[in-house]
Every structure is written in structure tokens, then in C-alpha cells.
Amino acid sequence: MSRGFVVWLTGLSGAGKSTLAGLLAAELRARGLRVETLDGDEVRENLSKGLGFSKEDRDTNVRRIGYVARLLARNGVAVIAAVISPYAAVRDEVRAAVEQAEGHPRFIEVHVDCAIEELTRRDTKGLYAKAQRGEIANFSGVSDPYEAPTAPELRIDTEAQSAEASLDTVLSLLDREGLIDGLGMTRAH
């Protein structure tokens, strides 16, 4: 049975977490791994309806996603979490819980990074403009803190590189860490 692990994508809204999660999930599935993607919005609907975006509620939501990630990873699943998860302390708490689970699944924290200026420029959903006009309270990076990881396993600059290049960066790391088999590469490089 293959060893589970968690790739935790943290970063601001619009930075490219879900895009990268989708590409990575497809790639890992193509290699025969069990893969589960925990996307912030979908998980919130299923596990945290009624919670808001205060620090306390966000922390609770992230802890719940971490709990589910841990259950899956200790059962051999490759978990990809795509969650803003703005607070460092709770991310570290989730990391510790995952790494202490049966089989000691690896926790790979990936900071999906993009400058706020670029996010404001793209603003595909119009959320940054709204937040900057004060119409969205608790919007991470604008009206709410985002504590960037100080020592993530990876930092990916999605302003500087394409989603495909970001995917390659993640795959290379997973390969070096022995979590996937480099020989099994299915994509053209």
C-alpha cells in the first residue's frame, strides 16, 4: 500500500491554489495514486457551514480540513489541500497532527505566492476591488492578515511562472522526497 502524504497549498485568493491542485491531482492519479483534493470552498460547505471568516472561525475551519487530511493520509491517500489558511500557528498545528499520525505521513507546505498588486490587477472575481473598497471584511491580504510561511517546503511564485512550471516544481520535490516514483513520469518534459 502506498504511503499517504499531504500537499498543503496556502496562499491568497486568486494566487492559483485551485489551478495547481487540479493539475497535481490529475498527474498523481495518472501515476496510480489514491488522490483526494480538499478545496477550501467545497470543504467549508460540507464541514463548516455557519462558520464565518473571523480568526477563530477560520482556525476552526482549517483544523477540520487538517483532521480530514490526516485521516486520509494515514490511510495511504495523497491529499491536496487548497486553502488560504492565513494563520501560521494553525498551519503548524495541522502539520504536527499529520506528521504524528500512523505511518507518519509527510506534510509538504507549498506557499502559492503572488504579489498583492498582481492579484489586484487580475482580480478575476472582482473580490480585491470589493475588499479594497471596504465591502468585504476579513479578506486575507487586504482587510485581514495573511501570515506567509517562513519555512515552507516550497514557495512558488505564480506571477513569475506558469501553472505547468509550478506543477513540475511540485512533482520534482515529491520525487526527491521519495513520495512519487520519478521513473513513472507521465508528462512530457
Strands across the sheet with 78-82, in order? 35-39, 78-82, 5-10, 106-113, 154-157
For residues 145 and 152, give the distance between their C-alpha atoms in angstroms, rounded to a whole number: 18
Q: Which stretch binds a copy of itself (CB under 8 A): 43-51, 80-88, 113-121, 158-166?
A: 43-51
Among 34, 95, 122, 130, binds a copy of itself (CB under 8 A): 34
85 given a catalytic annotation: yes
Q: Are 82 and 7 in contact (CB under 8 A)?
A: no
Q: Which is nearer to a copy of itself, 77 or 82 (CB)?
A: 77
Does residue 59 interact with a copy of itself by CB under 8 A?
A: no
Grid coordinates representing 7 are: 500537499
Active-site entry in 18, 85, 140, 166: 85
Does residue 64 interact with a copy of itself by CB under 8 A?
A: yes
Does residue 72 interact with a copy of itself by CB under 8 A?
A: yes
Q: Which stretch binds a copy of itself (CB under 8 A): 69-77, 104-112, 148-156, 171-179?
A: 69-77
Q: Are 161 and 152 in contact (CB under 8 A)?
A: no
Find residue 14's DSSP bridge partners: none
